C-alpha cells in the first residue's frame, strides 16, 4: 500500500521498486517542488548491513555534489524507516529509452560525454559504483543524463563487509572480476559495465543473454566480447574497437578512465560517416533520387547512419507551384485591363492633370530584424502565453561546440564566417547536422542567410530527430515557399496544412529569422515573426534538434546559420 506521506513529503505515486529500496514520486510542500523519496523496505529495517548501505549512499552523493549526479536534498527517518529525498527526474531512465530500441549515435556520444566527468570524479575519490546499468542513468526534463543509485558503491580501500559476499551488481553488466568476487575492484570494473551499456545503446540488445542470471555471469567470464556488426550490421567498424577495449576480460587492457572512453566515442561521432554496405535490422533501404536531366539516376549514397551526420536523403521535399489562374480569371483580368486603358486615353484627351499629382516619396527597404540570442522566441502576441527557459544556445563562435564538421563530394557542413554553414554542391541532396540535444517540447530559433545558389532550395530546422529516416522538418525556400513535413521510414510527406507560399519570407540572397515550435502534437513554423503554418502530428514525441539545407534541381545551395537558440516552454 502506498503511504500518503513520508516525513513532510506528500506521496503521489510509486516510481519503482527493487530488492533494496522503493522510490516514490512526491511533493515537497515547503519548497513547492516535486521530489523523489527513496525508502528502505520494511524487511530490511532491522538489518544493520542494509541500513548502513542506505545511509552511506546519501553520504556518498552529498560528498561528491557533481552536476551529473542526481542530488540528495534531505535524509530522515519515519517511524524507524530511513528515507532519502532526491531530485525528481521527469525524463525517465535510459532503460525506458532502450525499450524503444537502439539510441542514435550522436545521442550516445552526448550521454557519455556528460557522464564521464561525473564517474571519473567518483573514481578519483576512491569510490566504485559497482551497479552501473541503464535503469541507473536518469534524465531530467531537458533530456540531460544523470547517474544515480550508489546503494552498493564502496570505497576501494575499504573491505567489502556490508553484503556478506563480494559478488554484487547486475549480471547483464557485471565485470568478470566482479563476477569472480574479487575483493580488489577498481574503476575499470565500472568501465566494463559502461562497455556493456554502450553495446546495448548501439544495438538495442544486451551483449550476453542466457536463460538464467548465472548463465549470463558465466558468459561474462568466458565468452569472447560479442561483435557489434553481428547484431547491427550498419554500425561503423570503429565502434567495435571501443566495445572490445571497454569489455576486455583483463582489466589492464581496458580504458584507463571514462573520459578516455567518451573521448573515443566523440572522435568517431565527429568523423564523416562512410556509406554502409549493409543496412541494419529495421532500417529501410535508401531510395534513388529522381532521374537527372540526362535521364540517368542522380547519384545518391546510402543514408548516413550516424544521427547528427550530414548526409543525403531520398525523395526531397518540393514546393507546389503557385496556383494557376483559371481561364475565366484571365478573361476577367483582360476586361479590367481594357477598361483601365480606355480611362487612361480619356484622361489624356481631357488634359490629364489628374494623372500628375505629387510624386510619392520612395520608401526605405524593410530592415531585417537583428535578433539577440536572449530574445524570447514567441512573437509579441504570444509572449504572455508562453514562459520559456533557454536550455541551449550557440553563436557558432566555438568550433568545438558539438555540431559535426563534414566534407563530402564538394558539399560540407562546418563552422564558417562566424556561423555554421551547410553547403550542398549536388542536386537532389539534403544535408543536416544535429547538436545531440534531446527534447520532447522545444522551441527553436535561428537566423539563416542565403549566401549563394538557386532560389529553388530548402533550408530550415529539424526536430524530434530519431535517425536519418525519421524526423520532422520545418523549412522555407528562397523563392517564398514553406513546408512542414516529416520523414517516416525514409519516406517524405508534407503534413496536412503544412505548405504554402508567404510574402513574409525574404526572397533571394538575404536573411530570414526562423522559429520552429514542436510542442506536444503541434508543430508551428514562424518566419520573421509571422506564423506561416500550424499542424498536428503524433508520429514522433521526442528526439534531437538540428539544421538542414537542400538543393533541388540546381546544385550550390549555401546557407549560413547563426544565433541558434533552443527553449522549453
Q: Active-site positions?
A: 131
**295 Ramachandran zone, left/alpha/beta (phi>0; psi -120 to 50):** left
How far is it, in rounded angstroms, from Cα 73 to Cα 62?
9
For residue 353, give the DSSP letter.
G
The secondary structure of residue 241, as a DSSP letter, is: H
Task: Output the CA–CA distances (angstroms, integers) from residue 206 to 132, 201, 231, 261, 339, in the order listed.
Answer: 14, 9, 10, 19, 79
Beta carbons of 273 and 309 less than 8 angstroms apart: yes
Cα 434 versus chain centre, distance:
7
DSSP alpha helices (H): ranges in 182-316? 187-203, 213-222, 228-231, 238-246, 258-270
Instruction: Give, to the nearest 10 degrees, the angle between helix 105-124 and helix 258-270.
Output: 160
Distances, alpha carbon 327 to alpha carbons 322, 336, 362, in Å:
16, 14, 36
- SS3 for 313-328 is CCCCCCCCCCCCCCHH
Assess contact for 414 and 310: CB atoms under 8 A.
Answer: no
Helices (H), 40-174: 48-64, 94-98, 105-124
How far apart are the C-alpha atoms of 70 and 38, rounded to whole Å?
12
Helices (H) and strands (E) in the chain, counts: 10, 26
Amino acid at each position: 500500500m502506498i503511504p500518503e506521506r513520508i516525513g513532510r513529503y506528500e506521496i503521489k505515486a510509486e516510481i519503482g521498486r527493487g530488492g533494496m529500496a522503493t522510490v516514490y514520486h512526491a511533493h515537497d510542500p515547503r519548497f513547492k517542488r516535486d521530489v523523489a523519496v527513496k525508502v528502505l523496505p520494511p524487511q530490511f529495517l532491522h538489518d544493520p548491513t542494509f541500513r548502513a548501505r542506505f545511509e552511506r549512499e546519501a553520504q556518498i552523493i552529498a560528498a561528491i555534489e557533481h552536476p551529473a549526479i542526481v542530488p540528495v536534498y534531505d535524509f530522515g527517518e519515519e517511524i524507524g524507516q530511513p528515507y532519502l529525498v532526491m531530485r525528481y527526474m521527469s525524463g525517465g531512465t535510459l532503460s525506458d529509452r532502450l525499450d524503444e530500441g537502439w539510441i542514435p549515435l550522436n545521442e550516445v556520444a552526448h550521454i557519455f560525454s556528460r557522464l564521464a566527468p561525473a564517474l571519473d570524479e567518483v573514481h578519483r575519490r576512491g569510490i566504485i559504483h559497482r551497479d552501473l546499468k541503464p535503469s541507473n542513468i536518469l534524465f531530467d526534463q531537458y533530456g540531460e543524463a544523470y547517474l544515480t543509485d550508489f546503494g552498493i558503491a564502496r570505497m576501494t580501500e575499504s573491505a567489502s563487509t556490508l553484503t556478506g559476499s563480494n559478488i554484487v551488481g547486475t549480471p547483464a553488466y557485471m565485470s568478470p572480476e566482479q563476477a569472480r568476487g574479487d575483493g580488489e575492484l577498481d574503476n575499470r570494473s565500472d568501465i566494463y559495465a559502461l562497455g556493456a551499456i554502450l553495446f546495448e545503446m548501439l544495438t538495442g540488445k544486451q551483449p550476453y543473454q542466457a536463460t538464467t542470471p548465472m548463465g549470463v555471469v558465466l558468459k561474462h567470464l568466458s565468452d569472447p566480447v560479442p561483435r557489434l556488426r553481428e547484431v547491427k550490421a550498419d554500425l561503423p567498424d570503429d565502434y567495435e574497437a571501443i566495445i572490445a577495449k571497454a569489455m576486455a576480460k583483463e582489466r589492464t587492457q581496458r580504458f584507463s578512465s571514462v573520459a578516455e572512453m567518451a573521448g573515443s566515442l566523440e572522435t568517431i561521432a565527429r568523423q564523416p560517416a562512410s556509406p554502409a554496405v549493409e543496412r541494419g535490422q529495421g532500417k529501410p533501404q535508401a531510395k534513388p533520387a529522381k532521374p537527372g536531366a540526362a535521364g540517368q539516376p542522380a547519384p545518391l549514397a546510402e543514408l548516413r547512419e550516424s544521427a547528427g551526420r550530414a548526409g543525403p536523403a531520398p525523395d526531397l521535399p518540393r514546393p507546389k507551384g503557385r496556383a494557376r489562374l483559371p481561364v475565366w480569371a484571365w478573361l476577367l483580368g483582360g476586361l479590367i485591363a481594357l477598361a483601365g486603358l480606355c480611362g487612361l486615353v480619356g484622361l489624356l484627351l481631357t488634359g490629364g492633370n489628374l494623372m500628375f499629382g505629387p510624386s510619392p516619396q520612395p520608401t526605405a527597404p524593410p530592415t531585417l530584424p537583428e535578433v539577440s540570442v536572449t530574445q524570447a522566441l514567441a512573437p509579441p502576441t504570444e509572449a504572455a502565453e508562453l514562459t520559456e527557459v533557454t536550455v541551449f544556445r550557440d553563436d557558432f563562435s566555438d568550433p568545438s561546440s558539438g555540431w559535426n564538421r563534414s566534407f563530402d563530394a564538394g558539399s560540407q557542413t562546418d563552422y564558417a564566417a562566424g556561423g555554421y554553414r551547410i553547403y550542398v554542391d549536388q542536386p537532389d541532396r539534403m544535408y543536416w547536422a544535429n547538436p545531440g540535444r534531446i527534447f520532447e517540447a522545444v522551441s527553436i530559433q535561428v537566423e539563416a542567410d542565403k549566401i549563394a545558389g538557386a532560389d529553388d532550395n530548402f533550408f530550415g530546422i529539424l526536430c524530434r530527430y530519431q535517425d536519418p529516416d525519421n524526423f520532422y522538418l520545418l523549412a522555407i525556400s528562397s523563392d517564398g515557399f514553406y513546408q512542414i513535413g516529416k520523414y517516416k521510414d525514409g519516406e517524405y510527406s508534407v503534413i496536412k496544412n503544412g505548405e504554402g507560399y508567404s510574402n513574409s519570407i525574404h526572397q533571394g540572397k538575404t536573411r530570414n529569422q526562423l522559429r520552429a515550435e514542436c510542442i506536444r502534437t503541434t508543430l508551428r513554423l514562424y518566419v520573421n515573426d509571422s506564423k506561416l503554418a500550424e499542424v498536428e502530428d503524433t508520429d514522433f514525441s521526442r528526439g534531437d534538434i538540428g539544421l538542414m539545407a537542400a538543393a533541388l534541381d540546381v546544385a550550390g545551395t549555401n546557407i549560413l546559420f547563426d544565433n541558434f537558440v533552443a527553449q522549453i516552454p
